[in-house]
Chain A
Amino acid sequence: MIREDYEIVIGLEVHAELSTKTKIFCSCPTEFGAKPNTHICPVCMALPGALPVLNEKVVEYAVKAGLATNCEISRDSKNDRKNYFYPDLPKSYQISQFDKPLCEHGYVEIETEAGKKKIRLTRIHIEEDAGKLNHNEFGAGSLVDLNRAGVPLIEIVSEPDIANAQEAEAYLRKLKSILEYIEVSDCKMQEGSFRADVNVSVKKKNSEKLGTRTEMKNMNSFKSITRAIEYEAQRQIEELENGGTILQTTLRWDDVSGRTFEMRDKEDAQDYRYFPEPDLVAIRLSEEYIENVRKTLPELPESRRKRYLEEFKLSEKDSRLLTSSKYLSDMFEKAQAICHNAKAVANWLLSDVSRILNEKELEPENIPFTAEQLAQMIELIEKGTISSSIGKKILEELFINPRSPKAIIEEKGWVQISDEKAIQEIVEKVLQDNPQSVADYKAGKDRALGFLVGQAMKATKGKANPQMLNQMFIEKMK
């Protein structure tokens, strides 16, 4: 637990890879997972004499992100060079934006148990990704893969408005869902296309002065981020309480040991020698351009949430949870359009599907089955072909080897027993084996009925029609 007399101050810098077809300064593809150094050209491998040309789509996507996060869009912006040496940075400078970012002064609204809150955005700017070093992957030594060099990024910088790990997670989830909704980034965290640098400091409550912050770079899982924030805040408080001081450093979060470590090559006040990129011209955006981009913005989570309340009569909470992820929300809409049972689709997605995602530490975009498959399963339950407990088993199957629920049922012999004669036989058998429960029921203990139904389900491996069982038990015990 964080001590009551301290406050945590968190700022996040999110890097999201934009899903443009080509790189930011050349026409190489941005596709992930290709053979090393196959998506390269003189420009992105920084051959002598090669020059960058700005991909206009990158500007458009960044402006879209800015508009979706309530930013002011700069009419007059430019690129700058950030100079440093590293083998994955072929030009020895990254083309980024320094003092004139494309978007400024935005905000996103988050909701946690404590209620709603606005998190302000300082800026969103465009820049290029670096290449990747493969250490000892192809024999001894380190090799450079430049496929990722020049993949476009936006960096979204928040104000230090975030007060705890829950808010940080809510903010990141909100940002991620916005970027997914407007389709500027696929936000695949495992592939590193949505990652965050986390700045944490602590201060005594009522103290005006911000504490010294530490930074944890390139974190790409919500779980690690929340754990790291909690650990780091606690560590800083303990350090201060023990009379120590916090040094401004870059830390590495280690998921296995659950602690932060100081990075060995800590930045000794790295001087990036920013200056305007002379190979590119200024970025000037007209009102008309910005308005045209605004027109392409799709429905955002906020308005979808409101629609779910009215159109599908879902609860406030369910609407919010469903729309928190575009993938989840899209699946909901598709499935309900097929089976016309919005409540059931919402329930399945938010209870069992979410539980399995949680257990497997997956995100909604990792759901392996289709909305059609989910809708079919719900229809089968509605028709009484299967029970909902079989439905749960089908869902497990869908996560392992997605295929049509009908095929699964046939293959596994899971068709619900709705034959009156068969049900009667089971009921009689259970009544015979549990005289005490029958006595209890007749004595007015209604709970005994549930037990008897459970026994019957167990005997049929969940295949018996629960409504029919219920009715028949009541009948027989009259």
Chain B
Amino acid sequence: MDITKLTVHELQEKLENKELTVMQIVQAYANRIEEKEEKVKAFLSVSTKEALEEAKKIDEEGRNTSLAGIPIGIKDNICTQGEKTTCASKMLENFVSPYDATVIENLKREKIISLGKLNMDEFAMGGSTENSAFQITKNPWNLHTVPGGSSGGSAAAVAADMVPWALGSDTGGSIREPAAFCGVVGLKPTYGLVSRYGLVAFASSLDQIGPITKDVTDSAILLNLLAGHDEKDSTSADVEKKDYTKALKQDVKGMKIGVPKEFFGEGLNQEVKDKLEEAIQMYKSLGAEVEEFSLDIAKYSLAAYYIIACAEASSNLGRFDGIRYGYRTKNYTDLKELFKNSRSEGFGPEVKRRIILGTYVLSSGYYDAYYKKAQKVRTYVKNEFDKAFEKYDVILTPTSPTVAFEINSKCNNPLEMYLADICTVSINIAGLPAISIPCGVDSNQMPVGMQLIGKQFAEETILQAAYTFEQKIKFRETYSPKFKE
């Protein structure tokens, strides 16, 4: 039995049946990391030593929660007490958080064991993980391509079987795009479903933490742990606690699926399009009512997204000023220089670009033309989705217009890089839940992702649609990453 190939629900079963010990599981992952990390470079810090100690303890003391002893990987923008939380930035290279994020508290309560912190684009800004200040993570399917981003380390680690599942964060597609590129399942929950307390903020009104998993069942299991009202996050919704695994039913009969034609137009790679068409046929054959419709929001959303996200980021990242923690320049003679040089030296180019952009759109004289207008677009996008959801239960689109691209191929063209987010950002703008699941591979054996979007707090609907599809196409059983060199 190859332990690291198992999903969490399979591991859980084997732990319950005493076919496996926690120690055996953690040891298997430690070995796998040892074997694959050198090639993939998904981790910013590995904590297998601590994980093994914890595993031993749990085995000795007995498992008192259903997920006790299951390992996990954590995106490095989620604060973990006593461990480094770097956001893949020189600015926080040695930052150790004195507190745990709410989601980490939830995991610890369940006795879930951290295997380490995962690479990402610096401060979650990017779609390829190439903006990490420390290392470039490789896509396990083809080591010359990017894993997507910004949760590239999380998706790559799950795809490479170095962790059974991972936490990511999604501001404009940062869970879904890497999940699509790496052939795994990524869920961005409804804004407000998961506490943001302890997630280092990129864009406060868009950020959400979510699961990156091997399959849809694990996604529902992890969401159960993450979702819930948190009084430490004022934007967290006070909604009834649900058991998302109850949504895992093979049934889409009569489900109304809308396919927005604008998401299938110009810029969409033909092979991606073909895979999506096959998926649509599959849903039809399973009894879903699939219908094409018009949802002309993508191009406005992208512009509005970059204005809102950068505006909020420019303010959120102000606290990295070299005064209380994080990087401080050695090169200063007065206060202004201390601020300026610490920030100039501590932040990477993409982060600086977005701070400058955000500062600009909030400046007096430009505020109305950019920020205020973007907010109007935001309302418009929400309304358009609301209208669509009067007719459909689920909206189906590609997750990304392409499969994973070559490392360095877009680095010098930020606009082209931003266009890769075209299918995902509008979902954050509208605060909706969406899941990306693999729907096949292209002719180069690279995974293609399909995105299913739901109404606010209708995670169950998209989980059910995704689960039904997954059970039919059996992607994991058919394809696996080959670490192509």
Contact = CB atoms under 8 A, between A and B. Distances in A.
Interface string A42-80: 100111111111100000000000000000000000000
Nearest to A86: B335
B97 A47 contact: yes
B318 A49 contact: no
Contacts of A271: 363-364
A52 B315 CA distance: 15
A52 B197 CA distance: 9
Contacts of A278: 203-205, 235, 312
Contacts of A51: 196-197, 232-234
A90 B198 contact: no
B238 to A, nearest CB: 11
A451 interface: no
Contact of B79 (A49, A81, A144, A280): A49
Interface string B346-370: 0000000000000100111001000
Contacts of A50: 99, 197-198
B234 to A, nearest CB: 5
Contact of A83 (B78, B315, B367): B315
A279 interface: yes
Contacts of A54: 234
B323 interface: yes
Given A47-B325, A49-B79, A273 B97 contact: no
Interface in A87-136: 87, 90-93
Given A49-B198, A85-B339, A273-B359, A279 B97 contact: no
Contacts of B234: 51-54, 279-281
Interface in B91-133: 92, 95, 97-99, 101
Contacts of A280: 234-235
A53 B232 CA distance: 6
B321 interface: yes
A281 B323 CA distance: 29
A81 B315 contact: yes
Contacts of B200: 48-49
Interface in B59-84: 77-79
B253 interface: no
B90 to A, nearest CB: 14
B321 A85 contact: yes
A275 interface: yes
B391 interface: no
Contacts of B201: 48-49, 279
A23 to B, nearest CB: 14
B204 A83 contact: no
B232 to A, nearest CB: 6
Interface in B304-361: 311-312, 314-315, 318-319, 321, 323-325, 335, 339, 359
Most buried by B among A87, A92, A274: A92
Nearest to A93: B315
A318 to B, nearest CB: 50
B150 interface: no
B16 interface: no
Nearest to A270: B364
B318 A92 contact: yes
Contacts of B87: 48
A4 B199 CA distance: 63
Contacts of A47: 79, 97-99, 325
Contacts of A281: 234-235
A192 B269 CA distance: 64
Contacts of B199: 49
B272 to A, nearest CB: 33
Nearest to A277: B204
B98 A91 contact: no
Interface in B189-212: 196-201, 203-205
B426 interface: no
B105 to A, nearest CB: 12
Contacts of A93: 315, 318
Contacts of A144: 323-324
A53 B200 CA distance: 16
A275 B371 contact: yes
Contacts of A48: 79, 85, 87, 92, 95, 97, 200-201, 319
B420 to A, nearest CB: 25
A51 B362 CA distance: 22
B324 A45 contact: yes
A45 B321 CA distance: 13
Contacts of A53: 231-234
Most buried by A among B233, B324, B339: B324
B80 to A, nearest CB: 10
Contact of B315 (A42, A49, A273): A273
Contacts of A275: 311-312, 315, 362, 367, 371
A46 B362 contact: no
B324 A91 contact: no
Given A48-B92, A51-B197, A81-B315, A42 B235 contact: no
A47 B87 CA distance: 13
Contacts of A90: 319, 323-324
Contacts of A85: 318, 321, 339
A49 B97 contact: yes
A91 B318 contact: yes
A281 B233 CA distance: 10
Contacts of A92: 315, 318-319, 321
Interface in A23-46: 42, 45-46
A49 B233 contact: no
A126 to B, nearest CB: 15
A411 B97 CA distance: 62
Contacts of A83: 314-315, 318, 362
A406 B441 CA distance: 98
Most buried by A among B204, B234, B364: B234
Contacts of A274: 362
Most buried by A among B87, B204, B363: B204
Nearest to A85: B339
A273 B319 CA distance: 15
Nearest to A26: B232
Interface in B216-259: 231-235
A85 B312 CA distance: 16
Contacts of A279: 201, 204, 234-235
Contacts of B77: 49
Contacts of A52: 234
Contacts of B232: 51, 53
A280 B364 CA distance: 23
Contact of A46 (B85, B95, B319, B359): B319
A293 B203 CA distance: 36
A117 B204 CA distance: 47
B74 to A, nearest CB: 13
A93 B205 CA distance: 17
Given A273-B364, A278-B204, 11 more contacts: A46-B319, A47-B325, A49-B85, A49-B198, A50-B99, A50-B198, A87-B335, A273-B315, A273-B362, A279-B234, A281-B234
Interface of A: 42, 45-54, 81, 83, 85, 87, 90-93, 144, 271, 273-275, 278-281
Closest 4 CB pairs of A and B: A92-B318, A273-B362, A278-B204, A278-B205
Interface of B: 77-79, 85, 87, 92, 95, 97-99, 101, 196-201, 203-205, 231-235, 311-312, 314-315, 318-319, 321, 323-325, 335, 339, 359, 362-364, 367, 371
25 contacts: A42-B99, A47-B98, A48-B85, A48-B87, A48-B97, A49-B78, A49-B196, A50-B197, A51-B197, A51-B234, A53-B231, A53-B234, A54-B234, A91-B318, A92-B318, A92-B321, A144-B323, A273-B362, A273-B367, A275-B311, A275-B367, A275-B371, A278-B204, A279-B235, A280-B235
